Amino acid sequence: MEVTYARRWLGLGALALSMLALGFDMTILNVALTTLSEELDASTSALQWIVDSYLLVFAALLLPAGLLGDRFGRKWLLLAGLGIFGAASLGGAFAEGPGGVIAARLFMGLGAAIVTPLSMSMLPAIFPPAERTRAVAVWSASMALGLPLGPLVGGWLLEHFWWGSIFLVNVPVVVVGGIAVALLLPETKDPSAPRVDVPGSLLSMGGLVALVYGVIEAPVRGWDGPVVLASLIAAAVLLTGFVLWERRCEEPMMDVGLFRDPVFVWPMLAGIAASLVMAGVLFVLPQYLQAVQGSGVLGTGVRLIPMLLGLMAGGIVTDRVAPRAGHKPIMVVGLLMMAAGLGWGAFTAVGDTYTTVCMWLVVLGLGTGLTLIPAMDALLASLPADQAGRGSGLVQTLRQTGGTLGVAGLGSLLSATYRDRLTTDGLPRDAADAARDSVGGAAAVAERLPDPALLTSARDAYVHGMDAVLGACAVGALAVGLLLLAFQPRGAREDAAAASDDRESDHEHAAS
């Protein structure tokens, strides 16, 4: 283990590089859909599947991927995931039509589903407990850095190269990251890990696919649409069957008992809340910056950076404070700061300058960092060493599914508020439909007619919808913060765990 520990920070750099590629791939398509529609003659339905095919596979396979890593080896399965992601990116770059891009995105989701939980499960294997918080902060920041980088990188590539470059850019990053992982990280696995639970895997994958599909379709078809209701009912049946099966299975793929452990449950709730809020803000804010404030694609990415800087500052504070104060007070303060930043943002007006937006973004980012990073650290600490892969898969499944559910629900709230306040009187039917569809569509119609009154109405309606979304997120963050304050245990058990971590760290450093 001496060699492993000597190279642990370089190994973390390899993991961070891999997560960076996955991070900006999640948002790079946001700026490329119009180009793909024109260059590939892709319909609206095809564009939707280019985005959603990735999410469906990604959500479904996170949990079984973690189990496979525990059983067969985390390092080499991580390398396989990077290889799948890189090969699929290369295929997507040179696809000749929408079908080829959709297929590539399916396999990119497969690769990402393998990489995400296994990269997280490697952290406790290569870092002593005393350094784990800092490692989690770097790991979390690397993916967070990729989110605003997506529009920046995508916008620059589309201005200078062909559409396939938004996929091709993943390949060198994955190659370098894969070589670094192969050279710098040790192999870890659990010889006593259970066999692959085929019925449990099928039930969990089917349930998550049905759930995510229903949530994705809800803003388009309505929450009471037959397809949406059928998907959500199927998800409820399959996921209930999965839990019942896991409770009776001799070798379950998920430890159901974790959900009875408050040391696991409350940090998990905090992590889901932070992920949901970040996903919601990254959904509504780029459209505001572009359609209301008039920023370009590159400018929008730059204007999201203050939130990232706040998140990184939160990681630094957590690293310094957590060893003395514990996780609970940091997460509670973080959630309250998130609520404050979101509440400030909920009073945004059409005429506000970016300076105001920048200030509440910094507060929000700092609160997110103070919530997400100690939550992930506490979750890793609560998982048994022999369940690092399965546990990380469960954590990431809940986080990503929560984020997807949040974006769908918040998207419905934004859409309903926007349409209620938008004035389209006197417009032709097609123009009115396009204007009601999105603020970007309204801006395009207003420019084509021209109709300055429509543009003013659309901007006002969108800002009111965004304020409603931010207000709802603020209430949710405040509620979770108060629940953690009231119910998350903080005392003998956490102190004993911290003391145990310190003793283990001292022993490992003495041995090395």
Average pLDDT along the chain, 512 residues, taken 10 residues at a time: 59 82 75 72 69 78 76 82 92 88 90 84 76 76 71 78 87 87 77 70 84 76 84 91 82 72 86 84 82 78 81 80 84 94 93 90 91 82 64 72 73 82 83 79 81 87 92 93 87 42 41 38
- Nearest alpha-carbon partner for 355 in 414, 290, 293, 281: 293
141 sits in the region (left: phi over 0; alpha: psi -120 to 50; else beta) called alpha
| Chain centroid to CA 221 | 24
CA distance 88 to 82: 10
User: C-alpha angle with apex 205: 220 to 143, nearest 5 degrees?
Assistant: 75
C-alpha distance across the termini of the chain, in Å: 8
426 sits in the region (left: phi over 0; alpha: psi -120 to 50; else beta) called left
Cβ atoms of 400 and 62 closer than 8 Å: yes
What is each CA distance from 507 to 146, 229, 384, 501, 510, in whole angstroms? 36, 55, 19, 10, 5
- Nearest alpha-carbon partner for 113 in 25, 172, 192, 236: 25
CA distance 259 to 247: 12
Residue 56 confidence (pLDDT): 77
Residue 395 confidence (pLDDT): 76
CA distance 15 to 12: 5
- Nearest alpha-carbon partner for 54 in 376, 297, 404: 404
| Chain centroid to CA 385 | 25
CA distance 231 to 217: 9
pTM: 0.76
CA distance 146 to 319: 22
Cβ atoms of 83 and 196 closer than 8 Å: no
Count CB neighbours of 51 within 10 A: 15
Phi, psi (5° rounding) for residue 36?
A: -65, -40
Count CB neighbours of 483 within 10 A: 16
- Nearest alpha-carbon partner for 439 in 292, 249, 258, 339: 292
What is each CA distance from 336 to 48, 161, 370, 403, in whole angstroms? 35, 44, 10, 19
Q: Which helix (H) or strand (E) holds 228?
A: helix 226-248
Rg for the chain, CA atoms, rounded = 23
Residue 3 confidence (pLDDT): 39
Supply 261's token pair.
Answer: 């452990």
CA distance 361 to 281: 10
Phi, psi (5° rounding) for residue 133?
A: -60, -45
CA distance 203 to 246: 10
Phi, psi (5° rounding) for residue 484?
A: -60, -45
| Chain centroid to CA 483 | 23
CA distance 436 to 454: 11
Residue 385 confidence (pLDDT): 60
Supply 218's token pair.
Answer: 């809800």
